[in-house]
Structure 1
Amino acid sequence: MAIPSLAPLPPIAILPATTPDFYAIAALEGRAFEHDEVCTVAYGPNRHSHANLLHREKTLGSQPKEKGARNIVTKAVLIGQDGKEEIVGAAGWSFHLGREDGTAEEEKGSEEGGKGEELENGSGGWGEGANVKLCEDVFLGAEKIIVGSTEGRNFAKLNTLVVSPEYQRRGIGKMLIEDGLKEADRMGLQAVLGASKEGLGLYKKLGFKEVEVMEIKVWEYEGGEGMGLDTHAIMHRPAKTV
């Protein structure tokens, strides 16, 4: 269902994603981040393989072990004139509750060494052929900063945001984030995320501010020879009451 970039989009609905959607979302992530140097090196030359897509499918459908936490994945569905539906974007959120009354301490989850992101990737696995060193430095390193920025209070975290390359810069990403923020605001939660430089402008418009910027020297990692410097910004949005 190819839509010219300047043509009006058909109706788009933001809906809960379920198990049958996760493989398609995993494949969509691969296409959307095809030319991202960090993802290229982190997940390796086999990142588009059926085995790795199945691995990602499983992690998208998993729930964190931290007590009081839950994951939610939503999808942006484009509905064509013929009634057919196409997934053109997705967002994954985790909501971490019970931290302020101490109940979350029974399951350490993301508190120790950034294990929340590790759990999201399948009990510490990053997929077949992944660069473990880069994944740990960037993703687990970011998780430590993110958790630290919440100062022990409950929070909502954007784990992933992806929009089909054919539909980017059409407001779909904004719709997906706003949908998650509505839930965060309903529960009175602060929100946190890790942002690429391409997403900074959008996140700032939605009330996020930079906490810390990580510099990633991609060329220092195996498979990243000749690549450049990338940045990953940890961002925070205060809790709002509605």
Structure 2
Amino acid sequence: MKTRLSVNVNKIALIRNARGSNYPDLIKVSKDIEAYGAEGITVHPRPDERHITYADIPALKAIATTEFNIEGNPRTQKFMDLVLANAPDQCTLVPDAQNALTSDSGWDTITHEAFLTETIGALKEKGIRVSIFCDPIEKFIEGAKKVGADRIEFYTGPYAENYHKDRAAAIQPYVNGAKIANELGIGINAGHDLNLDNLRYFQENIPNLLEVSIGHALVVDSLYYGLQNTVQMYLECLTVKD
């Protein structure tokens, strides 16, 4: 089974916003990323709209020809209204604090069981597949299944941080978590700090990994390799070797 690559275009929007113009053109770049072979576009609009703006969402939804994935914190009603109005293929729920620099943990699916059950139900009524950010901890994966999530997205920050110290130890919690998820019949996505160094090893060791969402590292690599070539390099990392 091939793992899909969804490219997070937040950093493209951040560069655009730095000059207060439409350069680079987020819509054109997103179209190009799909043309270069990516199988999804991910965005994570934040309350301060420091990169992706709320106005970007319908424009991206209109041009996406692969999978459109919106990430964000559903505790913000404005975010929920945005997602429900634009009905992406997938919504990934992330428990970020409002002023978070970047995502840094998964959901406590036990403490927030009632909230997540209600939120996921509302999204699925609109035909939106729901994934929730999750640490590789058995009780939280079981909780994700209980609240009705279609998938979990493993928060891979700790894996990336420890990869060069001891990659076998770094990935072991995710191997254990994937085993539980597969037994429960819940899909597996992954994202955060995955890059050209650590991506292949992760993909090779996580059975039934459906999708990875990568933005920051891919955009940084494109400064050296070019965007088209970089997308191809990430796709190559996800290609199953005989």
**TM-score clears 0.5:** no
Task: Name the structure where helix makes up a greater proportion of residues.
Answer: 2
What is the TM-score when the length of structure 2 is the normalising length? 0.30
What is the TM-score when the length of structure 1 is the normalising length? 0.30
